[in-house]
């Protein structure tokens, strides 16, 4: 059940509609406003076939929700002076020298990685049999038996799709950033993230491996009639002509899986809300405020962002520039991202508002109707006029 009374009716309604229409199997939704949690609800099933209800401490495969966590770790190292935003990637990974189509090796910096302007891609954006598939590049969600450094080597052997800084292109850059973090910190990525982010914030549910297998939600996918349980392994279609997502639900329980900075973490909604609220309130004890400002300020100018109209990009997250173009009630300057396994989240600093909506249903919970419905419902419940 939800908490906090009648003001929650709109949010309850959005969740119940998605469950009733069998677009979602289960969800955990948390809303904080003014530094206080004003809505908390676990709804539906964590494991439908086992009859296990969703709980507020259910664990989820985070997919791209990993990115802001790992990006925060990178910024923490930069705030210490251990590495710099404009360092060449080769300072830390000397063999990472991907070439452009004409054979030249351009300067590629950590800023390019963090802003997704490095000229890299994801296998799920490319056609089946594209260069990443031919090279065996892992997107960080499959069951590939390789190390982080081997995956980075394969990424570097693929041609860049654009000169660094020329285009915004969502990509596997955060995995490369993870390898940089390892070199700069002298620690495995999981330990570095724990030392600089999840440890200081007591995010004890969040790691690159499920900390409690019994609390891990089952994973589902959109399907006519009702969501189907994901197979092991599985493939989900994405955009027309692309290879789609290659998923291994069991990866969350595999201690041999490499630590994917862009897609490999597992955690709870409450843990992630703690990180968002820490950043919204200035960053201590994880980041100084000026580094939070850098993280959450548009860093890519007017470069077009496919799939994200009206938005720019900071150092690992989208930043809202035009609410009308984005068709959202969020305030200018709001941050937002999602995750393949069925997650969305956003922070509206102007309204002192942080929202986490984790589901176990891909892709509805990431990019389906539910994402807009829950956003509109939150603003209705918190007394902010909707975009419509």
How far, in Å, CA of 197 to CA of 181, rounded? 13
How far, in Å, CA of 121 to CA of 132, rounded? 8
Q: Which of 64, 66, 138, 334 is catalytic?
A: 64
Dihedral of the alpha carbons of 298, 299, 302, 303, in degrees to the nearest 10 = -120
Quick check: helix, strand or coil at residue 235?
strand
How far, in Å, CA of 245 to CA of 242, rounded? 9
Paired tokens of 336: 């937002």
How far, in Å, CA of 24 to CA of 31, rounded? 19
How far, in Å, CA of 273 to CA of 263, rounded? 18
14 alpha-carbon distance from chain centroid:
22
CB-based contact 247:219 (threshold 8 Å): yes
Q: Is 340 exposed, middle or buried (0-12, 13-18, 19+ CB in 10 A)?
A: buried
How far, in Å, CA of 205 to CA of 113, rounded? 27
CB-based contact 251:129 (threshold 8 Å): no
How far, in Å, CA of 237 to CA of 251, rounded? 19
Q: Nearest 5°: phi and psi at 218?
A: -70, 155
Q: What DSSP letter does each residue of 113-156 carry, written as one string?
A: HHHT-SS---GGGSPTT-HHHHHT---SSS-----HHHHHHHHH
The closest alpha carbon to 356, from 25, 13, 60, belongs to: 60
Q: Nearest 5°: phi and psi at 106?
A: -85, 165
The closest alpha carbon to 37, from 73, 4, 65, belongs to: 4
64 is an active site residue: yes
The closest alpha carbon to 124, from 239, 16, 234, 25, belongs to: 239
Element (H, E) at 90: helix 89-92
Could you give the count of Cα atoms lying within 13 Å of 59 in the half-sphere of its Cβ? 21
Residues designated as active site: 64
């Amino acid at each position: 059940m939800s908490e906090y009374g009648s003001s929650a009716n709109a949010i309850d309604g959005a969740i119940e509609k998605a469950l009733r229409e069998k677009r979602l199997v289960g969800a955990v939704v948390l809303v904080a406003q003014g530094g206080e949690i004003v809505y908390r609800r676990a709804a539906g099933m964590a494991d439908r076939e086992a009859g296990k209800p969703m709980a507020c401490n259910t664990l989820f495969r985070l997919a791209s929700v990993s990115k802001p966590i790992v990006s925060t770790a990178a910024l923490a190292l930069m705030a210490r002076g251990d590495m710099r935003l404009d360092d060449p990637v080769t300072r830390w990974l000397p063999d990472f020298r991907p070439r452009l189509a004409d054979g030249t090796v351009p300067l590629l910096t950590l800023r390019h990685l963090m802003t997704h302007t490095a000229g890299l891609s994801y296998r799920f954006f490319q056609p089946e049999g594209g260069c990443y598939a031919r090279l065996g590049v892992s997107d960080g969600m499959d069951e590939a038996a390789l190390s982080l450094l081997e995956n980075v080597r394969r990424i570097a052997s693929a041609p860049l799709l654009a000169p660094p800084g020329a285009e915004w292109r969502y990509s596997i850059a955060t995995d490369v950033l993870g390898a940089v973090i390892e070199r700069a910190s002298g620690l495995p990525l999981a330990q570095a993230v724990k030392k600089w982010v999840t440890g200081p914030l007591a995010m004890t549910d969040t790691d690159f491996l499920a900390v409690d297998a019994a609390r891990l939600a089952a994973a589902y996918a959109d399907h006519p009639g009702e969501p189907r349980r994901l197979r092991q392994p599985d493939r989900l279609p994405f955009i027309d002509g692309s290879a789609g997502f290659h998923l291994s639900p069991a990866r969350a329980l595999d201690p041999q899986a490499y630590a994917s900075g862009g897609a490999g973490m597992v955690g709870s909604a409450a843990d992630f809300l703690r990180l968002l609220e820490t950043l919204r309130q200035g960053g201590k004890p994880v980041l100084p405020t000026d580094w939070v400002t850098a993280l959450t300020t548009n860093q890519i100018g007017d470069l077009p962002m496919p799939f994200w109209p009206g938005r720019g990009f900071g150092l690992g997250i989208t930043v809202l520039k035009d609410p009308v173009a984005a068709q959202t009630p969020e305030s200018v300057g709001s941050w937002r991202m999602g995750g393949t396994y069925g997650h969305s989240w956003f922070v509206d600093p102007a309204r002192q508002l942080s929202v986490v909506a984790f589901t176990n249903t891909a892709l509805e919970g990431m990019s389906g109707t539910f994402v807009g419905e829950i956003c509109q419902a939150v603003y209705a419940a918190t007394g902010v006029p909707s975009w419509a």
